[in-house]
Amino acid sequence: MDFVEQRYWDKSYKDIELTVLGENDPIKKWIESHISKFNGKCLEIGCFPGGILTIFGELGYELHGIDLTPRVEVDLPRWLKLKGYRVGQFDRIDILQFSPNEQYDIVSSFGFIEHFSDWRGMLLKHASLVKKGGVLIIETPNFRGVIQRFLHLAFDKKNYMRHNIDSMKIREWRRIVEEIGFEIIFCGYFGNFLFWVDDDERNWLQKMLINLIQSATKRCLKYLPNNRMYSPCCGLICKKL
C-alpha cells in the first residue's frame, strides 16, 4: 500500500481477536439494508480480520478473501468455518497479482482503496472481478467531510495521514463505475455521526475532548441524519449490467 507499510497492518493484526460485528455496527446495517440473502460467492479484498465477511456469511454467501497479512490463509478461514459459514478460497496475495479463474457475485472492500495513490486503478480492479449481474461494494472513511477532517486532524493526525483523502470522492466513484456499465444502487454517506480514532499517543486534553465527543455521540449525536460534513463513512453499492 502506498500510504501504509504492510508491517503496520501485520503488527496491528498479529494478536487481534476475530469477532463478529455487533448488530448496531453502521457497516452491518448499511449492507443488510441493500443486500438480500443469496447462495452466491462473495470476495472481500483486504479481508482480515474478517468481521465484515460474517455479514455476508449470515446472508448465505460463500466467503472468499485476499489480504497480505500472515493470518489470512489459516486463522481466518478456520474461524469462519467454526462459526458455521460457507468458506471458499483465502489467499495471501497482493491485489495487483490476483488473477482468479472466476468472477464473483459480490466483490467488496472496506477501508482499502484510500490507502493507495492510484485509488482509481484499485476501483477498476475491484470492478473487473464482478460477474455480470453481480454487485460491487466499496466503503472508505469520510475524512474529507469538514467536521470529520477537523476532528481527525486535531485528535487523530497520524491515522489521518495514512489515508489518501483525494480518494474519498463519491461523485468520482459514481462516474467511474457508470462509465464501465454499472448501475448505482447507493452512492453516498452513512453512519449518522461517529468519531473513531486509532491508537496513538495523546495529551490529557486531547484524551478528555475525545471522551466528551464520544460520550455525546452515545447520548444524542448518533441520531443525526447522514451528511457529507460529518457522517463517518463513504459508500458505493452498484450492480454490473
- Domain assignment of residue 34, yes or no: yes
- Domain assignment of residue 118, yes or no: yes
How large is the average pLDDT for residues 187-199? 93
DSSP 58: H
- Domain assignment of residue 45, yes or no: yes
pLDDT confidence bin for 1, thresholds 50/70/90: low
Mean pLDDT, the chain, rounded, equals 95
- Domain assignment of residue 1, yes or no: no
Q: What pLDDT sits at residue 220?
A: 85
- Domain assignment of residue 125, yes or no: yes
% of the chain surpassing 90 pLDDT: 81
Full domain range(s) for residue 213: 6-240
Neighbour tally for 154: CB within 10 Å: 12
For residue range 43-93, what is the model confidence (pLDDT) as tens digits? 999 999 999 999 999 999 999 999 999 999 999 999 999 999 999 999 999
CATH code assigned at 82: 3.40.50.150
pLDDT confidence bin for 101, thresholds 50/70/90: very high
pLDDT confidence bin for 204, thresholds 50/70/90: confident
- Domain assignment of residue 112, yes or no: yes
How large is the average pLDDT for residues 199-219? 87
- Domain assignment of residue 216, yes or no: yes
Domain count of the fold of the chain: 1
In this structure, of 74-78, 113-117, 197-201, the range with the lowest mean pLDDT score is 197-201
Q: Is the pLDDT of residue 199 over 90?
A: no
When comparing pLDDT for 79 and 2, which is higher?
79
When comparing pLDDT for 159 and 1, which is higher?
159
Rounded to two decimals, the pTM is: 0.95
Q: Please name which of 154, 144, 68, 72 lies closest in space to residue 112, comparing C-alpha atoms.
A: 68
Could you tell me the CA-to-CA distances from 173 to 65, 121, 132, 228, 241 in Å, in that order? 22, 11, 19, 15, 17
Q: What's the CA gap between 137 and 184, in Å, rounded?
A: 10
Q: What's the CA gap between 109 and 18, in Å, rounded?
A: 18
Q: What's the CA gap between 49 and 201, in Å, rounded?
A: 24
Q: Is the pLDDT of residue 10 over 90?
A: no
8 A C-beta contact, residue 203 and residue 151: no
- 43: cell is 470476495
- 86: cell is 460457507
pLDDT confidence bin for 105, thresholds 50/70/90: very high
